[in-house]
Amino acid sequence: MSIYRVALLSVMIAALAPAAQAASSGSTEPNPFRKTYVQLGVARNVPEGRTQSTLAPGTMQLFFAYMHNVNTQWMMSLGAGLKTFDRPVADPPPPSKTLAIWTLAHTTYYVLRLSHPTYLLVGPKLLYLLPTLVGKLPPQRDHVFDSEIGAGLSAELIQGMSDRWFLSLHCERWRGVKTSRLAGFEVSIGAMVALD
């Protein structure tokens, strides 16, 4: 199944979820979330799979996401950030000490209520990965690694601190699907603040 089919399927499931929930149960529980959130946090990536032979864990980096609450069971997220890996010293020397990967991502989350106000968000993630020499603008493309589309599985534990903001602990396993040369496991902490 192609990555585009998976994305289309996740969007279709999210769109049909309210009707399925209303049909399956006579009562619906109140939605504990506001409509939109901004999420800010720090993340660290560790290389996985074949990436372990060429790269080492990088430094912590900031990420930003816009989260939209579809209903009590589904959330969507659009995010951007930087994933970094350190390059080991080799002969010939690498083009830069760090591989900085600019990332744009879309995540579809299924919301599981553990115990109010603690929730687990789980879902697939699509990424655009742009490897660069340094994590500065304008990006300088890396010629060792190609840009590629990535896929991942994301899980996020969120704890409500008030009706407007949540703390989050996020884990994600991701990889590029074009060459499989880029793959990693990301752990992050952050905060979600309601916009409405």
- Tell me what the mean pLDDT of segment 67-84 comes to: 95
Is 27 part of a structural domain of the chain? no
Characterise 180 by phi-psi region: left (phi > 0), alpha (psi -120 to 50), beta (else). Answer: left
- For residues 153 and 186, is the Cβ–Cβ distance under 8 A? no
19 has pLDDT over 80: no
Percent of the chain with pLDDT over 90: 66
pLDDT of residue 155: 96
Residue 107: both structure tokens together: 């995540």
Residue 134 has φ and ψ, to the nearest 5°, of: -140, 155
Domain of 148?
3-17+32-194
**pLDDT at residue 3 tops 80:** no
Rounded Cα distance between 88 and 22, Å, is 55
Task: Give pLDDT, residue 138.
Answer: 87
> In 3-state terms, what secondary structure has residue 117?
coil
Is pLDDT of 12 > 80?
no
Q: What integer best gives the mean pLDDT of the chain?
A: 87
CA gap 24, 68 in Å, rounded: 24
Q: How many domains does the chain have?
A: 1
Whether the predicted pLDDT of 23 surpasses 50: no
Reduced 3-state DSSP string for 4-44:
HHHHHHHHHHHHHHHHHHHHHCCCCCCCCCCCEEEEEEEEE
Let me know if residue 22 belongs to a domain. no
Residue 25 lies in a domain: no
Summarize the confidence of residues 123-129 as an average pLDDT: 97
Has residue 92 been placed in a domain? Answer: yes
Q: Which residues, in sequence order, are bridge partners of residue 74? A: 110
Q: Which amino acid is at 12?
A: M
- Does residue 24 lie in a domain region? no
The pLDDT assigned to 169 comes to 97
DSSP per-residue string spanning 50-64:
GGGGT-EE---EEEE
Q: What is the CATH number of the domain that holds 188?
A: 2.40.160.20
Residue type at 129 in one-letter notation? L
Compute the average pLDDT of residues 111-124. 94
Of 13-17, 29-33, 122-126, 181-185, which gets the smallest average pLDDT?
A: 13-17
pLDDT at 196: 86
Q: Is residue 62 part of a domain?
A: yes
188: pLDDT confidence band, cut at 50, 70 and 90?
A: very high
167 falls within a domain: yes
CA distance linking residue 190 with residue 63, whole number of Å: 9
User: Does residue 49 sit in helix, strand or coil?
Assistant: helix
Residue 23, in any domain of the structure? no
How would residue 17 be classed by pLDDT, with cut points 50, 70 and 90?
Answer: low
Residue 105 contacts residue 116 (beta carbons within 8 Å): no
